[in-house]
Structure 1
Amino acid sequence: MRITANITSQNSLYNIQQGRAKLDKLNELIGTGYNINRPSDDPVNTALLLDIGDKVKAGDQYQSNITKSNIWQQVTSTALNGMSSTIQLAQKQVSNVANGTSDETTRQTAIDQLKTLKQQLIDMGNTEINGQYIFGGAVSTTAPFNSTAPYYSGDETALKIEIAPSSIQQMNIPGNQLLTADSATSKPYGSTNILKAFDDLIAAIGSNDVDAIQAGAKALEAGAQQVTNAQTDVAARVQRLDSMSTLNENNKNTLSTIYSNTQNVDYAKLAVELSQQQTAFNASLSATAKLSQLSLLDYLS
């Protein structure tokens, strides 16, 4: 096959264009800092990076949900601690008049204290976060508890939140499961109506009914255990949330490492490649320039 000057020229031009394209690619990588700047650069790893990006965004949302749920658990725990202390104070007042030998002044003092303590329970049951009553179930814009039967005006909706793929965590405790559990459909902590127990005790102490006072004392004891059970539940939730938070953070770090290893360029390596390519490109230009100066007369001489 005869190699003409035109073929040589075309080959030279092709090689120069290829060298220029490689230089441009290296400069783009160095300029952006990314290995993949468009899907066509690497379709397989592009799909991988998009998937990682989606998972990181989902992880951020799960972490936000965990943070929100943790705040609810902390506020709920504070309210439950207050309720537990309040019931203990009520038990102490009842023990002072339980034998039926107390005078009217002592009994009236106990009644006044129980009324105050009952109101404290109601106030704690009406705890709110950012305008949401945490014990009201789905009815979160109005106070769920009042001082008269049936005491509770919220509902029994369990507010749940996703903290990981296919992993759901309940945020709230419906108030009727806590303070008026005898009327609750679900009774995970007990079945005592604590607010009614207070009213029954107030009436029993007023009439100095020893049997009724002792029955009320037992109801308070059951109510105290009911609150303790709720505290245990909240503590377990917090532990689970902490574990899921750590897991989500570890997953995010792993995904971020994979993303970085796939997408971020190695500047030291690219600098070497750029220098080599620039040298090769300049050599190609120089060789092409010398060859293009040759003519038939050069070969005949």
Structure 2
Amino acid sequence: MRISDSQFTNTMLTGMAKSNTELSTLLQQMYTGEKITKPSDDPIATIKLMGLEKTQAEIGQYKTNSESVKSGYQLYETRIDSVVEGLQSTNELLLWGLNGTMSQEDRSGIVIELESLRESMVSTFNAKNSQGSYMFSGTATDQKPYTLKTDGTVIPNTEVNDSTRETAIGDGLAMQNNMTLEDVDANDIFEMLNTAIKELSEPTPDLSALRGAHDKSLASLYTASSAQAYAGSQINNIDRMIGTHTDTELFAAKLTDQLNALSYDEASLKLDNFVSALEATQKTFAQISSLSLFNQL
């Protein structure tokens, strides 16, 4: 079969154009450090990389959510710790107040301390988080739980609720991200403090009522301590979840590197072969193109 000059020229030019395209792709890979510069380079690997990218994005969001919930529980743990300390002090004061031989002056001193503890409790239960939301108000985060009147009366906000909120911290996994007044026995604490303050302010306290207040303070201390332990356990659970997310993130990154990271040793060798082959092809084409019948005369 005879090949015309135009056919030969077109074939050689097409081959060199293809080689130039492949060389350009290789140079782009070396510049970016990635084997896949466009989906057509490896469609199957591209689909896998898209899946890994989605996984990494989701894990990143889950880690952000987890850190946010953890920060919230650390704040709850701190606030509830002050409640526990306040109730421990209350128990000691009530045991002292149950001493029937105390003078009116001694009881007045206890009343002052209990009133101070009550004020501190109001401040704790009205605490806000870093976003300016009330921590113990359930889903009514813009509502202050209590108002303390000048006469010491504690007025609860009826808009506050005991509903919980959840945050996604994993695939199909959500964690409660708040604690409520019910979790820390807040209303019972104020009822107990009001009873104790009232009786100890009387010339002759009702010791039976004081013993009842003391029993309630012990019950509230148990509830608050349990809530504090719960907050600590949630922090530990989140730490484990964050560790799992980190391991998954590292695994996904390793797979991404395996699929897309360029080996510069292999690329350099391939580049040398490309350049050599292209130069040889161009030289051959130039020599053949310059031949004519006059060279044989």
Q: Taking structure 2 as the reference length, what is the TM-score of the superposition?
A: 0.90
- Alpha-carbon distance in structure 2 between the residues aligned to 1:9 and 1:75: 77
Does structure 1 conserve the Cα–Cα contact (< 8 Å) formed by 2:23 and 2:274?
Answer: yes
- Structure 2 equivalent of residue 204 of structure 1: 199
- Alpha-carbon distance in structure 2 between the residues aligned to 1:152 and 1:67: 30
- Structure 2 equivalent of residue 255 of structure 1: 252
- Indicate the larger mover: 279-288 or 49-58: 49-58
**How big is the shift at 1:152?**
4.8
- The 3-state SS of whatever aligns with 1:168 is strand
Query: Is 1:270 paired with 2:271?
Result: no
- Structure 2 equivalent of residue 151 of structure 1: 156
Query: Is 1:239 paired with 2:236?
Result: yes
Q: Deviations over 1:49-83 (max 9, x none)?
A: 22222222222211111121122111111111111
- The 3-state SS of whatever aligns with 2:156 is coil
- The 3-state SS of whatever aligns with 2:161 is coil
- Structure 1 equivalent of residue 31 of structure 2: 31
Q: Deviations over 1:204-258 (max 9, x none)?
A: 3334111111111111000100101101110110001111111111111111222
- Structure 2 equivalent of residue 70 of structure 1: 70
Unaligned runs of 5+ in 2: none
Does structure 1 conserve the Cα–Cα contact (< 8 Å) formed by 2:137 and 2:181?
Answer: yes
Does structure 2 conserve the Cα–Cα contact (< 8 Å) formed by 1:152 and 1:176?
Answer: no
Aligned mate of 2:210, from 175, 193, 213? 213
Unaligned runs of 5+ in 1: 182-192
- Structure 2 equivalent of residue 295 of structure 1: 292
How many percent identity over aligned positions?
19
**How big is the shift at 1:101?**
2.5
Q: Which amino acid aligns with 2:58?
A: A
- Alpha-carbon distance in structure 2 between the residues aligned to 1:172 and 1:16: 67
Does structure 1 conserve the Cα–Cα contact (< 8 Å) formed by 2:63 and 2:242?
Answer: yes
- The 3-state SS of whatever aligns with 2:2 is coil
- Alpha-carbon distance in structure 1 between the residues aligned to 2:183 and 2:70: 20
- Structure 1 equivalent of residue 220 of structure 2: 223
- Alpha-carbon distance in structure 2 between the residues aligned to 1:120 and 1:49: 55
Q: How many residue pairs end up in the alignment?
A: 289
- Structure 2 equivalent of residue 187 of structure 1: none
1:1-301 correspondence runs (5 A): 1-130=1-130, 131-147=132-148, 148=153, 151-153=156-158, 154-180=160-186, 193-205=188-200, 206=202, 207-296=204-293, 298=295
Q: Taking structure 1 as the reference length, what is the TM-score of the superposition?
A: 0.89
- The 3-state SS of whatever aligns with 1:133 is coil
**How big is the shift at 1:286?**
1.1
**How big is the shift at 1:150?**
6.0
Q: Which amino acid aligns with 2:141?
A: S
- Structure 2 equivalent of residue 190 of structure 1: none
- Structure 2 equivalent of residue 186 of structure 1: none
- Alpha-carbon distance in structure 1 between the residues aligned to 2:224 and 2:13: 85
Does structure 1 conserve the Cα–Cα contact (< 8 Å) formed by 2:65 and 2:167?
Answer: yes
CA RMSD of aligned residues (A): 1.9
Structure having greater relative contact order (Cα 8 Å, sep ≥ 6) = 2
Q: Which amino acid aligns with 1:18?
A: K
- The 3-state SS of whatever aligns with 2:253 is helix
- The 3-state SS of whatever aligns with 2:34 is coil
